[in-house]
Amino acid sequence: MDTILVVNAGSSSVKFQVFAVVDRRTLRCLIKGQVDGIGTRPRLRAAGADKSPLIDRAYDAAQIGNGAAAMQVAGTWLRDVAQLEPIAIGHRVVHGGPNYQGPALIDDTVLSNLDRCIPLAPLHQPNNLAPIRAIRARSPEIPQVACFDTAFHRTHSRLADHYAIPERLHAEGVRRYGFHGLSYEYVAARLAQIAPNIAQGRVIIAHLGSGASMCALAAGRSVESTMGFTALDGLPMGTRPGQLDPGVVLYLLEQKKMSAAAVSSFLYQQCGLKGLSGISNDVRELQASKDPSAAFALDFFAYRIALHAGLLAAALGGLDAFVFTAGIGENSPAVRMRVALLLSWLGADIDPAANAVNAQVISRPTTAVPLYVVPTDEELMIARHTLSILDKTTSDSRTPAMSNQGAA
């Protein structure tokens, strides 16, 4: 049985899924797992498609001190115990820079280009690339495919793509990229199945998780996003501030005498819901807290989502539907209620009963702007892209041979 391994590597965890290639158009999830607590309390856990546990094993911190070590442990288990040898491996890579408008088969040139994007995504990119290098060193014969969070947004117009800065900087790559593209691409495809007429219209998708952003789609294509040059922009997130006056950064550098490294750490790890509440970056903890600062953080989160919804609706020239997705968007009725009430001026009318049970449609039948909850699946999207690249590579390699035979 042919399988594809999907790797989604972060700073403290490496998530993975194994998909069976049923045919060249159909993929079926076999195994879903992760190595978390990297460097502190590492643990390998995996379950089958029916959620039955396959492994739950703890390790010493020294055994799994980084993402490469985590991938090696997971890979050894997949090969020796699960007896799986994937035909290809797909990776989530946050930043593709200006060069990549779709997935890419990884070689030395691609890897070098992605290294140059590290300053644009310092929290994510090094962790995304570490397992790629580890696998190349151990099993160089296995094709690996990079799937980019930025690629879906390369359909933006020049107006949406630019900052008001000298053109020479834009030419160097200082531009608005947008992120969470793999999630938006999957949700857009699902919406086309759920509500095809709506999907051909003007839609805002809110990817609300520890990292959060929103995307405006016209006929399924990204036309604007709340994130820009880096994953710091736009909505407030778990530990990131979102939209911020650049003067604040200058203040931290000049008046607070913070180093560039300290400012980077501050912006990526100490702001957002965590900074506002002083309690936690976890929405579940904030919802359970009676501290007024927790409620303020959640109100601020919803307020900024509503403000950016107005911006995106302006980019679209109106709005036909609003979609919630990702961890918070899919699982927090309280956050959805906060947001929906602030969107009533656009015509949204939430159904509290449907919202409470995470229904697919959470608006009333008479609403002018339907509200949807559509679970995302970035890993399946990566697997699809990986299979597509693999098929293309195989087809390209066969073409000369077939032409020669025809000429003979």
CA nearest to 4, candidates 151, 176, 144: 144
List strand residue ranges (DSSP E) for 1-122, in order.
3-9, 13-23, 26-36, 43-48, 53-58, 88-93, 104-105
Q: What is the rounded distance in angstroms from the CA atom of residue 23 to the CA atom of residue 12?
A: 34
Contact 40, 18 (CB under 8 A): no
pLDDT at residue 9, rounded to an integer: 84
Of residues 197, 199, 178, the one with CA closest to residue 188: 199
**Geometric angle at alpha carbon 342, from 338 and 344, rounded to 5°:** 120
Q: What angle do CA 207, 130, 174 make, to 5 degrees?
A: 55
Q: Compute how many other C-beta atoms are within 10 angstroms of the C-beta atom of residue 338.
A: 17
The beta-strand segments (E) located in 110-164 are 144-148
SS3 273: helix
Q: What is the pLDDT of residue 398?
A: 54
User: 5-29 in b/e burial notation, b at 16+ Cβ within 10 A?
Assistant: bbbbbbeebbbbbbbbbeeeeebeb
Q: Are 216 and 227 in contact (CB under 8 A)?
A: no
Give the residue numbers annotated as catalytic, written as ranges.
149
CA distances in angstroms from 386 to 56, 110, 137, 244, 343, listed in the order given: 28, 15, 20, 36, 38
What torsion do the CA atoms of 286, 291, 292, 297 make, to the nearest 10 degrees?
A: -20
101, containing H or E segment: none
Chain mean pLDDT for the chain: 91
How far is C-alpha 292 from the chain's CA centre? 31
Which tokens hold the place of 59? Answer: 């390790």
Q: Is the CB of residue 74 less than 8 Å from the CB of residue 14? A: yes
Strand ranges (E), 300-340? 321-325
**Which structure tokens are listed for 150?**
């930025």
Residues of the chain with pLDDT under 50: 400-408
The per-residue pLDDT for 401 is 42
Helix (H) or strand (E) segment spanning residue 59: none
Token readout for 139 is: 């099993």
| Residue 12 phi, psi dihedral angles, 5° rounding | -125, 0
